[in-house]
Amino acid sequence: MQKMIPAVTLILLALAPMSASRANETSELRQQILKQSRQLQELQQRLDELESKQKQQSEQMEKEVSEAVRDKQLSAFPDSLRWAEKEKR
């Protein structure tokens, strides 16, 4: 039993640096995960902003096209029938 105590002590001493290095590695991995999580949140926010901007541009373009079509249709009517178009609205 007394011979086992130094052997166990040597094993524990040998594992202690490995344990410390693993703790350090784990800490580094956690930091990387946190950094990547922040980057993902920033990218998601940027994507949301771009989608919102794209939606606004699409709505504006649709409005402009609709107005252009309406103006084109009004100009296609002869002057004698323009009053009917105004009544329709």
Domain extents for the chain? Answer: 20-88
The pLDDT, as a whole number, for residue 71 is 75
Query: 3-class DSSP state for residue 86?
Result: helix
The pLDDT, as a whole number, for residue 36 is 93
The pLDDT, as a whole number, for residue 82 is 62
The pLDDT, as a whole number, for residue 19 is 64
pLDDT in tens, the chain (89 residues): 455 566 666 676 666 666 667 778 888 999 999 999 999 999 999 999 999 999 999 999 888 888 877 777 656 656 666 666 666 55
**Which residues lie below 8 Å from residue 84, measured CB to CB, with a gap of 6+?**
77
The pLDDT, as a whole number, for residue 22 is 75
